[in-house]
Chains A and B, each alone.
Chain A
Amino acid sequence: MIIRSCMAAALLLFMAPVAADTIAITHGTIVSLGKAGTLKDGMVLIKDGRIAAVGKDLAIPSGARIIDAGGHIVTPGLFASDSNLGATEVEGESSSDDAAGATDSLSAAFDVSLAINPASMLIPVARMGGVTSAVVTPSLTGRGAKKGDRLFAGQAAVIDLSGDAQSITLRHAALTVDVGSDAASHLGGSHASVLQLLEADLDEAASYGANRAGYEHGTHRPYHQSKEDLEALLPVLQGKEPLLVGVHRVADIRRVIDLGNRLGLKLILDGVEEGWMMAREIAAAGIPVLVDPQYDLPAQFDQLNARLENAAILAAAGVTVAIAPPYSGDYARQVRYNAGYAVAHGMKWEAGIAAITSTPAQIFGVGTRVGRLEPGLVADLVVWSGDPLEMLSLPEHVLIKGVEQTLTSRAQALARRYEIQDPQQPPAYRQ
């Protein structure tokens, strides 16, 4: 009996999720983060992979599959923002790590989306934690990274966690750069060198953009960046693509904001451990931030005043706050706990939910597609057994693009295999 159910679970692992059909989520506490607000005993109707309606007492289309949420909370699917999910399988093994791929001639242009593996074994694990999207950001410091003096880690991508062939939601979601201590240590040795190189590279791209014909004919000033890198900087210079800047201490945050203002850049500040000390300035500048609320130690000299209340203070001052999980894709599912810790330290609960759903969707350019429960948006949502931010709550149903996902993974299969202690049967025969 037990063995049979284990085999059934293992079979499910290899079965494709059922196709998108018409689904009615009923009797849910719908946290829509959209115009519908939060509805007790609400419904979400899903058709053709998209949300058709959110409300109370909606007419259920005939033939719809009904998921009775039993009063439980329904939220948009969670975002793992700033993650190597899908690009890195095992961080300790460089051959399985594609997140750090910048080279001397491929820095701003390095496009991590071309390395995304929808079949990554980490994706089902994250999905079981209610994560349905990830912002995959390239890195300069992974074990796969080549030594060098590259400034930009490359282009971030937004992916969904369906695991299917159309998992890439948005390429060129943001250009990733770091101006903190790590970058300073390998780029000239000073925070000043990093900022000067950043401005110089952007200036070079501006020159290139104004004189593309000259580039083709060789009548241009010398550029140290490749054509691909120069091209990749143009949407950033035009304020179309965000520049995701890893920045930590007050003085550097001010300099980055100033640079953004002077050049008309669309910025997202990443890390901002000392942001709480200048929350009003960041709010006034209208720049969103991406924070890991657990970071409360002076790990580097440029984050001496890190504290647990950072997210709460920033949000209270009116800053748009998105909350990230730890960078490693293994830990993508921690994102909801991170939001919980921010709430424990003063952030409003709804803001905590938004910080891992609608806010990252919006700041990474997919806010009209996912992140809220609103008609027309892609049906990525989770029905929770309790408060989504609590460790003791678990996803009961996870839908991505309107398709209910099987909540299993290789890790689950291992648990089921070894749940049975039968000396007569080697575990290898239990599948």
Chain B
Amino acid sequence: MKRSIAGLPLWAALAALSACATMPAPTPSSGPLESATAVAKDQPSYPGLDPASDRDPFPSSYRALPGGTIALVGATVLTGTGSQILSGTVILENGKISAVGKDLPLPPGALVIDARGKYVTPGIIDAHSHLGVYATPEVWANSDGNEATDPNTAQVWAEHSVWPQDPGFVRALEGGITTLEILPGSANLFGGRSVVLKTLPGRTVQDMKFPGAPYGVKMACGENPKRVYGGKGRSPSTRMGNVYGYRKSWIDAQDYRRRWDEYHKKLADFKAGKGDKAPDAPKRDLQLDTLMGVLDGSILVQNHCYRADEMAQMIAISHEFGFHISMFHHGSEAYKIADILKKEDICTATWGEWWGFKMESFDGIEENAALLQKAGACVVIHSDDAILTQHLPQEAAIALAAGRRLGINIDEAEAIKWVTANPAKAIGVLDRTGTLEPGKMADLVLWSADPFSVYALAEQVYIDGGLAYDRHDPAHQPLSDFELGQAGPAHPGDQP
């Protein structure tokens, strides 16, 4: 595997390539980076022709800020695992959480933060963001979120549209967000790949990429695709046209997968001395690569879908073609099929109170999250908005209050999962972040007050143990290039 194959005869090169191609697909939790790096050292003669040869062509160059040993002492800690610890201690070491509990011994040399009267939660995760792809200022030049030229653009990747200087990234960080899933828009049936970013500002999008996070693919139900393409006089112009579009694409993807599997099998046979001619490789197709990734379980389906009946149809399609939908986004009517979503292990990302802006959201209710929670389904509160992302725990509080009004009493220790552990699960990073547990990335927020209070402000935000934001220390208040040198101070807390 380590030897160079340059200059070898074609059959030998192909044989070497097959070794790469038949490597097991990295699972979302096993870090595709390592396997990709191993492959990269084994350059084929014609690099890039086999989708399995390099699954991470735009690798993360994320580097955490230096962070020492830090102990936050005395806060009410919402762990994201369903626990609340009064007067708790959270200890960060080497970028990871090393201990969470009460009356913990402090490591020697630890920087002790007095957090009495304050709250600590895991870093907030927004599983539905268009920061960077629909950046501010909202001008034509920054409008890169919808490749609305074809109903299936599974071949485009959101990260190639992300402008790292979007001022919204910094605002999100100031609101306690540490991880974002950036999605393409919902104009298309398949909008393209999503990317998971950390909110630590970087020069390039690779600098912000969450190391090892799996990709997602954005799918969209309902009004948007039929409006966009119907308006262009082409399919889909109806919901039945939408479903045809999904199924046709999955047939193409399954066929593509079959062709690659057969090729890799024949190649292995050839390598084993069977046959006298190396097989011809199928032509690589970036659109089908993404869909094949879903079928082999390495890419997560993130499905914009408001109506319960349409969600049920999407579930049927997933059964027909053998894949799993990770999460329905927006999900205004998810409460109508909470039992089905629980059974299918599909999360719902929704709002506290957004509703009614179009017909498919007209049955959106504030009690949606609480009803899902009551049924045992996975609940996520998301933003889809550069302003709302700054107030995600408060949006969860709206849903919490509505549940209580209906008699569904969910405590805050549970509800904080809606913006931490549950989105982490749905975007495939729960094994690394989303809760305050030893060994996890030290992504957390120190709040001035109960995070479900309208008055709560993120005082400090740690990402991988580094102090990414401090409300009281300008040295820890980043500013995007775009906002640098403008007339007004954009720093919060900085009164003129």
List residues of chain A with CB under 8 Å of any chain B CB: 90-93, 122, 125, 250, 274, 276-277, 294-301, 304-305, 307-309, 313, 328-331, 333-334, 337, 340-341, 343-346, 389-394, 411-412, 414-416, 418-419, 421, 427
Contact = CB atoms under 8 A, between A and B. Distances in A.
A391 B364 CA distance: 18
Contacts of A328: 356-357
A298 B150 CA distance: 31
A209 B160 CA distance: 59
B454 interface: yes
Nearest to A304: B486
Interface stretch (B100-108, B279-287, B296-304, B331-339): B331-339
A392 B401 contact: yes
B423 interface: no
A298 B391 CA distance: 18
B492 A308 contact: yes
A299 to B, nearest CB: 5
A309 B491 CA distance: 10
A390 B456 CA distance: 10
B454 A344 contact: yes
A305 B401 contact: no
Contact of B371 (A92, A250, A330, A419): A419
Given A274-B488, A301-B137, A309-B492, A392 B452 contact: yes
B357 A391 contact: no
A390 B371 contact: no
B488 A307 contact: yes
Contacts of B223: 92
A305 B487 contact: yes
Contact of B490 (A122, A250, A305, A389): A305
Contacts of B338: 418, 421
Nearest to A341: B454
Interface in B162-181: 167-168, 171
Contacts of A343: 454-455
Nearest to B492: A308
A391 B137 contact: no
A12 B367 CA distance: 19
Interface string B329-358: 000000110110000000000001111111
29 contacts: A90-B356, A91-B356, A92-B223, A93-B359, A122-B356, A274-B488, A276-B496, A277-B488, A294-B391, A296-B390, A297-B167, A297-B168, A297-B387, A298-B483, A299-B138, A304-B483, A304-B486, A309-B495, A343-B454, A343-B455, A391-B400, A391-B454, A394-B401, A394-B405, A411-B355, A411-B364, A415-B371, A419-B406, A421-B338
B120 interface: no
Nearest to B337: A418
B64 interface: no
Contacts of B482: 298
Given A391-B394, A419-B406, A297 B355 contact: no
Q: Which one of A93, A299, A300, A345 has the highest number of Cβ atoms from chain B below 10 Å of its Cβ?
A: A299
A346 to B, nearest CB: 7
A301 B483 CA distance: 12
Given A391-B397, A391-B398, A346 B495 contact: yes
Given A346-B495, A389-B454, A418-B335, A294 B387 contact: yes
Contacts of A341: 391, 454
Contacts of B487: 250, 277, 304-305
Given A296-B387, A421-B375, A305 B363 contact: no
The 5 tightest CB contacts between A and B, nearest first, are A92-B358, A340-B454, A305-B488, A391-B397, A330-B356
Interface string B376-400: 0000000000110011001001101
Interface in B438-460: 452-457
Contacts of A122: 356
A330 to B, nearest CB: 4
A276 B495 CA distance: 10
Contacts of A337: 394, 398, 454
Contact of A90 (B339, B352, B359): B359
Contacts of B496: 276-277, 313
Given A411-B364, A421-B375, 17 more contacts: A90-B357, A90-B362, A91-B357, A125-B356, A294-B390, A296-B390, A297-B168, A304-B486, A340-B454, A341-B454, A346-B495, A391-B398, A392-B400, A392-B404, A394-B404, A418-B336, A421-B338
Q: Which one of A250, A300, A330, A334 has the highest number of Cβ atoms from chain B below 10 Å of its Cβ?
A: A330
B136 interface: yes
Contacts of A305: 486-488, 490
A419 B405 CA distance: 13
A305 B482 CA distance: 11
Contacts of B354: 330-331
A418 B341 CA distance: 14
B403 to A, nearest CB: 9
Interface residues of B, number: 58
Q: Which one of B168, B339, B366, B390 has the highest number of Cβ atoms from chain A below 10 Å of its Cβ?
A: B366
A233 B48 CA distance: 67
Contacts of B187: none
Nearest to B403: A415
B365 interface: yes
A414 B355 CA distance: 13
A415 B406 contact: yes
B167 A414 contact: no
Interface in B451-496: 452-457, 482-483, 486-490, 492, 495-496
A66 B470 CA distance: 50
B137 A299 contact: yes
Contacts of B364: 411
A92 B357 contact: yes
A44 B29 CA distance: 61
Contacts of B139: 301
Contacts of A330: 354-357
Interface in B16-66: none
A334 B353 contact: yes
B137 A298 contact: yes
A431 to B, nearest CB: 15
A81 B353 CA distance: 19
Contacts of A250: 487
A107 to B, nearest CB: 26
A412 B398 CA distance: 14
Interface string B60-104: 000000000000000000000000000000000000000000000
A250 B488 CA distance: 11
B89 to A, nearest CB: 27
A421 B375 CA distance: 9
Contacts of A91: 356-358
Contacts of A313: 495-496
A313 B495 CA distance: 8
Contacts of A393: 401
Nearest to A393: B401
Nearest to B364: A411
Contacts of A301: 137, 139
A93 B362 CA distance: 11
A320 to B, nearest CB: 20
A418 B363 CA distance: 12
Contacts of A333: 353
Given A92-B358, A346-B495, A307 B454 contact: no
Contacts of A297: 136, 167-168, 171, 386-387
A415 B402 CA distance: 10
A294 B455 CA distance: 13
Nearest to A415: B367
Nearest to A312: B495
Contact of B455 (A329, A340, A411): A340
B12 to A, nearest CB: 56
Given A299-B137, A414-B365, A345 B492 contact: yes
A359 B427 CA distance: 45
